[in-house]
Amino acid sequence: MGLILIPFFSALAVVNGSWWQPFSFLAATDNQLETTAPPRKEISDSDDFKEILSKSKFSLIYFYSESCKYCTEFEIDFQYLNQLYSNNDEITNQFQILRTNANKNKVLSELFGVNSYPSIKLLNFKTLEIFNFDKQRSLENLIEFIGSHTQVEPNYNTFKSSIITLTQSNFQEFLSFNGKDKLIVFIASYMYDWKKYTYPQHFYQYFPAKYNNIDFGIIDIEDEDSSYLREYYKVSNSPSLVYVDKELEKIKTFQTIAQNHLTNKRLTDENLQEFILNINNEDDSYGTWYKDISSLQESVVGEFDGYKNMKSHGFNVGSYKSHQDTIQSLEDEFNEILLSNEL
């Protein structure tokens, strides 16, 4: 992790119509660090840098570009990071999170030595030290980076999800609670659209407010406890959906039956909204209705074994014992092919 001192610049620059030298401009006094003004998120070349940066002893500054795809991917992490450290008066004068469009704000970029995006810098305003974040851009790494230099801890109580994580123990209570329809998503946290489903900015977290006549649940198929629920709804594919009507009888499924491993579909924000808006549509492209849970379970007999489809070769072969038991080794599969061709 690099430690960089803000450099002296041989030339002067004009900011806000006045001449200044970058290093002396940042000189702080103890009194300036005592302010309790709320943190500001976006800064630009036209702002009074000294006033903004002096509001906290430490400032984490995120330099981004609108045309940078990596910045777009990082945005959800940055928003959650900002939420974890915001709305906390106890740390306002100790730490703040800022961001700036590096392409548009060249003076700030030059001052902090930024020449690639996204870049994350941590400024100690009192000592004028800049720490460069140079690890993988994950929420966990950023929290560790902030804590190691500032001793400031995130406040995870700033967000309480309305999405219920379902287990065998709370499943029946969820189904019977308050008489609303239920929508259950079966996902894995490694899936592209669902890697950060626990973040408040993830699209699924907005659905309870959009559709307040539905209770929303989620099942991560990587959890051992999920096997019972996958068996119950005969879910052999994910990402997928199960919708239960308010009478707890009719059930609609979407993408729950295993497909070719190369053609499994994604489940995006648009897919979810389209599914809900077409919940009464009988077209199979919007899912399949079953009159009750028994009809669903009986309909997939022969297609479903444990939680995997039966396939003669390749992926997910055999009945379910464990994930490892369902996958043929390459050597076994090769030998089976040789035998079937009498070689």
**What is the Cα–Cα distance from 138 to 327, expressed in whole angstroms?**
31
pLDDT tens digits, residue range 38-64? 344 899 888 888 889 998 999 999 999
pLDDT category at 17 given cuts 50, 70, 90 is: very low
- Strands 181-187 and 240-244 turn out to be antiparallel
Closest CA to 56 of 126, 111, 3: 126
CA distance 252 to 147: 46
H helical segments located in the chain: 22-25, 49-53, 69-85, 106-111, 139-150, 171-176, 207-210, 226-233, 269-277, 293-299, 330-340
Alpha helices in 126-268 (DSSP H): 139-150, 171-176, 207-210, 226-233
Beta strand 214-220 pairing with 181-187: parallel
Give the separation between CA 123 and CA 314, rounded to whole angstroms. Answer: 54
What is the distance, to the nearest Å, from the Cα of residue 5 to the centroid of all Cα atoms in its chain? 33
Q: Cα(240)–Cα(249) distance, rounded to whole angstroms?
A: 19
Percent of the chain that is helix, strand, coil (3-state, to 5): 30, 20, 50
Closest CA to 62 of 102, 23, 94: 102
Burial of residue 334 (number of CB atoms within 10 Å: 0-12, 13-18, 19+): exposed
Structure tokens at 321: 């014992």
Could you give the CA distance from residue 71 to residue 258 in angstroms, rounded to a whole number? Answer: 34
**For residue range 99-131, what is the model confidence (pLDDT) as tens digits?**
999 999 999 999 999 989 999 999 999 999 999
User: Which letter does DSSP use for residue 132 in this model?
Assistant: E
Give me the pLDDT at residue 38, please.
Answer: 36
Domains of the chain: 3-157 (3.40.30.10), 164-327 (3.40.30.10)
pLDDT tens column, 134-159 = 999 988 899 999 999 999 988 888 78
- What's the confidence (pLDDT) of residue 333? 59
Per-residue confidence (pLDDT) for residue 175, from 0 to 100: 92
Q: Give yes or no for residue 263 having a pLDDT over 50.
A: yes
- pLDDT for residue 299: 87
Contact at 8 Å (CB) between 202 and 196?
Answer: yes
